Amino acid sequence: MRILLISDPPAAPGYLPRLRYFCDYLTRQGHDITWLTEEYRALDFRHSYPIISIPMYSGGIADWALKTAWTLLTDWHNRAFARRALKELASQSFDLVLCSTFSDFPLSAARRIAGFYGLPLICDIRDLDEQVDNSRYQYRHRTWWTMPFRRLYRAVHIRRRNSVLRTADCLTTVSPWHTAFLQRFNPAVHTIYNGFDEQQFYPEDIPSGEFTVTYIGSLFDWQKPWLRLVEEELAAIKAQHPAFNARLVLHTPSHDPLPHTALGDAIRRSGIMLVLSGKETHGMLTTKFYEALGCEKPVLCVPSDEGDLAALIRYTNAGIATSDREAIRAFIIEQYRLWCQQSYTRQPTLHRTTFSRRHQSEQLMALAAKRFR
């Protein structure tokens, strides 16, 4: 099958692992993949398939500001991207268009390109604006004078996104909450979870001279109180048991970041992997949960989202999701005692391979073959 994948840029810091593993696996299975994206930063990962990067901005602030304002009024970003893309793809042919995004770009561009070729369109929705209460944009932009523009941007973004979702042949997304939300626009929605790369995230018992509770990933303001709570519980255990020797380790984009190639070993050497969630999030199944699952490292999810993530932790026996201080303390002590006995921790998981990237890619191709044969 010849697949045209259209997405936002697979550049640092996110690198879009969901899509890269789709492409790697499908290429190994003999499918022809062409990845079409916007030029942003250098693509510093190996790939055996062509990636076409289309420049949209000159790099100047004035150019960006003008085009952003024009996009708000006319959807310039999607329209211009589709026009330039069709010139780049003039001599090529495809069987299917797959568009993956966290926003409204490049959804309508993908619809234009699929319509030009007369091809079916699958839209893969990795995130939704509504998955965080009060909108993810308002969490990141708190300056009072920007709020009216953010509200306007959010309203326009959602309207354009929903317009494409209603006309797509099929939707895929990352959690049951996302699936239920998207069914109001299109009944043909399928959950394909994110997962872990079996070649990088695998179990291995590595003795360590130090017991660490490790957090890897971005750290937002609404997560910080729960991080402090875990710090307090570690201090409380130390006060009751002076011999207790544990350390909280943070790897965030602004503090001791790790290269992607070092993540597997960092997880395997940890005593506990900390995941910070919350009731204000919906269906956000962080990649670090899957990577800890792949390494069979115990997961402490604080607080419990009382939703999809907590359910997935129970289903896989990956650890504990809780908002209760006593449960947090008991889990840390349990894992610490295990580490004292053998110098490493290991969590016996269930249904682990169901959440591998390989299984994810097999699901996508089975869906494509079923719907578009």
Q: What is the pLDDT of residues 230-265, one digit of tens each?
A: 999 999 999 999 999 999 999 998 899 898 889 999
| 3 state DSSP class of 268 | helix
Q: What is the pLDDT of residues 10-63, one digit of tens each?
A: 977 668 889 999 999 999 989 999 999 999 888 878 889 999 999 999 878 899
What is the model's pTM? 0.89
- 284-287-288 Cα angle (round to 5): 110
Of 335, 311, 332, residue with least CA distance to 230: 332
Of 55, 59, 98, 51, residue with least CA distance to 80: 55
Q: What is the pLDDT of residues 196-233, one digit of tens each?
A: 999 999 999 999 999 999 999 989 888 999 999 999 99
Q: What is the pLDDT of residues 140-166, one digit of tens each?
A: 444 455 566 778 888 899 999 999 999
Which residue stretches of the chain are H helix? 17-28, 61-74, 76-88, 107-117, 136-140, 147-167, 176-182, 224-240, 263-268, 287-295, 308-316, 325-342, 357-372
Question: Structure tokens of 271?
Answer: 């005593």
Give 89's strand partners.
none
| 3 state DSSP class of 270 | coil
Residue 324 — very low, low, confident or very high, per pLDDT cuts 50/70/90?
very high
- Segment 276-285 shows an average pLDDT of 87
Where on the phi/psi map is residue 306: left (φ > 0), alpha (ψ -120 to 50), or beta? left
